[in-house]
A and B are shown apart, each in its own frame.
Chain A
Amino acid sequence: MTLDRLKIGKSSKIVEVRGEGALRRRLLDMGLTPNTEVMVRKMAPMGDPIEIHLRGYELTLRMDDAKKIVIEEA
Chain B
Amino acid sequence: MILGLAGNQNCGKTTLFNQLTGSNQHVGNFPGVTVARKDGQIRGHKDVTVVDLPGIYSLSPYSNEEIVTRDFLLNNNPDAIINIVDATNIERNLYLSMQLIELDIPMVIALNMMDEVRANGGTIKIKEFQKQLGVPVIPISASKNEGVEELIDTVLEVAEAKRAPRRQDFCSGAVHRTIHSIAHMVEDHAQRIKVPPRFAATKLVEGDEPMRKALRLSENEIDMVMHDVTEMERELGTDREAALADMRYSFIESLCASTVVKMGESREHRRSVAIDRVLTGKYLAIPIFLLIMMLIFWLTFGVIGTALSDLLSLGITAVTDAADAGLTAYGINPIVKSLVIDGVFAGVGSVLQFLPIIVVLFFFLSILEDSGYMARVAFVMDKLLRRIGLSGRSFVPMLIGFGCSVPAIMSTRTLSSERDRKMTILLTPFMSCSAKLPIYAVFTAAFFPKHAALVMILLYVMGILMGVGSGLLMRGTVFHGNPVPFVMELPNYRMPSAKSVLLLIWDKARDFLVRAFTVIFVATIIIWFLQTFDTRFNPVSSGSDSMLAMIGRWIAPIFAPLGFGDWMSSTALITGFTAKEAVISTLAVLTGTDVSNLPQALSTLFTPLTAFTFLTFTLLYTPCIAAVNAVRQEMGSVRSAVGVVFYQCGVAWIAAFLVYQAGRLVAG
Contact = CB atoms under 8 A, between A and B. Distances in A.
Interface residues of B, number: 43
Q: How large is the interface on A (under 10, 10 to 19, 20 to 34, 35 or more residues)?
A: 35 or more
Interface stretch (B423-431, B484-492, B567-575): B484-492
A28 to B, nearest CB: 4
A59 B281 contact: no
Interface string A41-55: 111111111010001
B487 A44 contact: no
Nearest to A57: B89
Contacts of B88: 56
Contact of B485 (A23, A55, A56): A23
B405 to A, nearest CB: 27
A27 interface: yes
B246 A33 contact: yes
A22 B286 contact: no
B246 A60 contact: no
Contact of B489 (A27, A58, A65): A58
Contact of B241 (A24, A34, A44, A51): A24
A57 B489 contact: yes
A17 interface: yes
Given A45-B282, A59-B487, A62-B486, A28 B92 contact: no
A73 interface: no
Contacts of B241: 24-25, 28
A47 B383 CA distance: 8
B283 A45 contact: yes
B246 A51 contact: no
A26 B92 contact: no
Nearest to A59: B489
Contact of B382 (A41, A55, A62): A62
Contacts of A56: 88-92, 269
Contacts of B95: 29, 31
Given A17-B242, A28-B242, A51-B490, A42 B484 contact: no
Interface in B39-76: 57-58, 60, 62-63
Contacts of A47: 383
B280 interface: yes
Contacts of A60: 378-379, 382, 486-490
Nearest to A25: B60
Interface in A11-42: 16-17, 21-31, 33-34, 36, 41-42
Contacts of B63: 22
B485 A33 contact: no
A30 B10 CA distance: 14
Contact of A51 (B60, B238, B379): B379
A15 to B, nearest CB: 11
Interface of A: 16-17, 21-31, 33-34, 36, 41-49, 51, 55-62, 65
Please list the 9 inter-chain residue pairs (A to B) with the smallest Cβ-Cβ separation, ordered nearest first: A29-B58, A28-B245, A23-B485, A22-B62, A46-B383, A58-B490, A45-B285, A55-B91, A61-B487
12 contacts: A26-B62, A30-B487, A31-B95, A33-B242, A44-B382, A46-B382, A48-B382, A51-B280, A55-B92, A56-B90, A59-B487, A61-B485
Given A26-B57, A28-B245, 5 more contacts: A29-B245, A44-B383, A46-B383, A56-B89, A57-B89
